[in-house]
Amino acid sequence: MRPHPAGLPKVIVTGAEEHQGLAVIRGLGLKGIPVVACGSQQASLGFYSRFAIERFAYTSPFQDPERFVTDILDAADRSHATLIIPSVESTLVVLDAHRASVEERCRLAAPSSPSLAVAVDKLETLALAERLGVPTPRTVYDDSAERILQRAGELLFPVAIKPRGHALSAKTKNSLGFKVKYARTFEHLASLIRSVEGNGSYPLIQEYAPGIGVCVSAVFDRGRPVVLFPYLRVREVPLSGGISVLRRSLPLDERLAKYVELLLGALEWHGVAMVEFRYNAGTDSYTLMEINGRFQASTALSLDAGLNLPYLVYSLFTDGRLNGPYTYRTGIEERWLRGDLFSLLGALLGDTRQTAVPDLERRLPSRGKLLRDFLYDFRPGMHYDEFKLYDLGPALAECKQLALGAIEFLKGWSRPGPMPFARGLSKILRLIGSIMPWASVGARR
């Protein structure tokens, strides 16, 4: 491995187009680590960070996985980087599939291939959880539509329909193109199952777990917990369920600590992971949703709370010295403003209630309350994902995207003709979709 001429070795961070990629770049940069930012877009958000000393655009792994690997190795050779930190799952899965050739040139900051295979495959994750006594939703899976529907008759509706695993993983490869869909009735489920035949592996069918999302980001050292960082998904985009746009750091519930330590300990996990649960306030219980073997979309929140997860991962895969214990501040709130605005617009201008997640515990707020909450959350003390005074480049790029969105909406609104709301909404949803398609954003990371 070739050292960086200035002293510390350079680190490649993939996924610079995503906000967790930006957070990883910043977390390393704040510790003086020279970062080579790599993303699938020429104008990736992380490229604007002052901590990105070099920038490379690569072929999307969804378009051409082989070419993506070639591009990353070329970036490693040209930059003399010695470590690759994948911040998004698509790059992690593809680099792991080529681990032998990748690690001949550059170390990969990733858990072992067998551990990652269990996390990527939701069916294996659920089987592990059941063996360990971690609560899971009742789930049906088969390789036949007829058998799936036959067994699904035993479930309580509504149900969630999810891909078995990542679209780029050899074992769970699929072209479903969504993270989750919902069926309120058996007839609706049958229609959805018939519509996805021929798209690779069939999806999982799960009883819907009502409640609110609670996640635990973790760094483990060969099965030993280094730090656990829990947070609440206060608001999401779309509003009915998706990516968190407003998050809050939480005290660690002993039950969550036990579940995460059981799961990642059994996998002898090495590196970063995020374990997602649903918390049901009515029963005061948690239900496991999934394990993600990557940095969470809310990585910026951990930095705001005083916990530098990217640097811990860097240390784990370089000198291996982690001198804990590590602490963080609870009650810290962090907001992804562009995503929050998209969530608000979707609720104000779209018919959200016809497509809402069938949550049995809560109702979507009125449009008036949504607007009041959105404006109230500009209050003092709120942290923002991309907007940091110590790194203004990404903030300016975000402002540009927000301005483009406003212009597109106003163009649609100002043209003569019927239903300007619908026309304006159509314009802005197309812009949103080009940046972050709601239906596939989870699946395509």
On whether residue 1 sits in a domain, the answer given is no
On whether residue 168 sits in a domain, the answer given is yes
320/346 same-domain check: yes
On whether residue 34 sits in a domain, the answer given is yes
On whether residue 178 sits in a domain, the answer given is yes
Q: What is the Cα–Cα distance from 232 to 252, expressed in whole angstroms? A: 11
Residue 203: its H or E element: none
On whether residue 4 sits in a domain, the answer given is no
**Residue 110 and residue 344 in contact, taking contact as beta carbons nearer than 8 Å:** no
334/345 same-domain check: yes
The count of C-alpha atoms lying within 13 angstroms of the C-alpha of 47, restricted to the half-sphere facing its C-beta, is 13
What pLDDT, on a 0 to 100 scale, did the predictor assign at position 439? Answer: 33
Nearest to 356 by CA among 248, 208, 191: 208
On whether residue 248 sits in a domain, the answer given is yes
378/396 same-domain check: no
Both tokens of residue 411? 């163009």
Q: How confident is the model at residue 112 (pLDDT cuts 50, 70, 90)?
A: very high
For 23-71, write each residue's pLDDT tens digit.
999 999 999 999 999 999 999 999 999 999 999 999 999 999 999 999 9
333/288 same-domain check: yes
149/297 same-domain check: no
Q: What is the Cα–Cα distance from 163 to 169, expressed in whole angstroms? A: 12
Longest dimension (CA), the chain: 65
Helix (H, G, I), strand (E, B) or coil at 81: coil
- State yes or no: pLDDT of 356 exceeds 60: no
CB atoms within 10 A of CB 204: 22
- State yes or no: pLDDT of 263 exceeds 50: yes
Q: Which amino acid is at 333?
A: E
CATH number of the domain at 159, please: 3.30.1490.20
What pLDDT, on a 0 to 100 scale, did the predictor assign at position 176? Answer: 85
CA pseudo-torsion sign 99, 102, 103, 109:
negative
The residue with tokens 């990585």 is 299
On whether residue 115 sits in a domain, the answer given is no
What pLDDT, on a 0 to 100 scale, did the predictor assign at position 440? Answer: 35
309/165 same-domain check: no
When mean pLDDT is compared over 100-109, 342-351, 431-440, the highest value belongs to: 100-109
CATH number of the domain at 351, please: 3.30.470.20
- Triad 412, 415, 416: Cα angle to 5°: 135
On whether residue 341 sits in a domain, the answer given is yes
Domain boundary among 388, 409, 434: 388
Domain boundary among 207, 236, 257: 207
420/315 same-domain check: no
Q: How confident is the model at residue 348 (pLDDT cuts 50, 70, 90)?
A: confident
**Residue 232 and residue 212 in contact, taking contact as beta carbons nearer than 8 Å:** yes
Q: What is the Cα–Cα distance from 405 to 277, expressed in whole angstroms? A: 33
- Triad 384, 431, 382: Cα angle to 5°: 10
291, burial (CB in 10 Å: exposed 0-12, middle 13-18, buried 19+): buried
**Residue 258 and residue 244 in contact, taking contact as beta carbons nearer than 8 Å:** no
Q: What is the Cα–Cα distance from 441 to 445, expressed in whole angstroms? A: 7
What pLDDT, on a 0 to 100 scale, did the predictor assign at position 40? Answer: 96
Nearest to 275 by CA among 243, 336, 230, 331: 230
What pLDDT, on a 0 to 100 scale, did the predictor assign at position 177? Answer: 82
191/310 same-domain check: no
Of residues 306 and 210, more confidence is placed in 306
Q: What is the Cα–Cα distance from 276 to 288, expressed in whole angstroms? A: 6
Number of domains in the chain: 4
Both tokens of residue 270? 């090495």
> CA 238 → CA 59, 165, 306, 321, 436, distances in Å?
28, 22, 28, 40, 11
Q: If you write DSSP's letter for every residue of 215-268 in order, what string do you get?
A: EEEEEEETTEEEEEEEEEEEEEESTTSSEEEEEEE----HHHHHHHHHHHHHTT
What pLDDT, on a 0 to 100 scale, did the predictor assign at position 338? Answer: 84
CATH number of the domain at 90, please: 3.40.50.720
Q: What is the Cα–Cα distance from 192 to 157, expressed in whole angstroms? A: 14
> CA 325 → CA 230, 270, 302, distances in Å?
16, 17, 15
- State yes or no: pLDDT of 361 exceeds 60: no
Residues spanned by the domain of 420: 392-445
What is the total residue count of the chain? Answer: 445
- Triad 352, 248, 280: Cα angle to 5°: 65
CA pseudo-torsion sign 386, 392, 393, 396:
positive
DSSP letter assigned to residue 388? B
216/364 same-domain check: yes
DSSP letter assigned to residue 319? T
Helix (H, G, I), strand (E, B) or coil at 75: helix
163/179 same-domain check: yes
Both tokens of residue 169? 């993983």
Q: What is the Cα–Cα distance from 399 to 133, expressed in whole angstroms? A: 47
368/420 same-domain check: no
Q: Which amino acid is at 361?
A: E
228/254 same-domain check: yes
Domain boundary among 359, 388, 417: 388
Which residues are CB-contacts of 6 (< 8 A; sequence separation ≥ 6)? 34
Q: How confident is the model at residue 156 (pLDDT cuts 50, 70, 90)?
A: very high
What pLDDT, on a 0 to 100 scale, did the predictor assign at position 419? Answer: 47
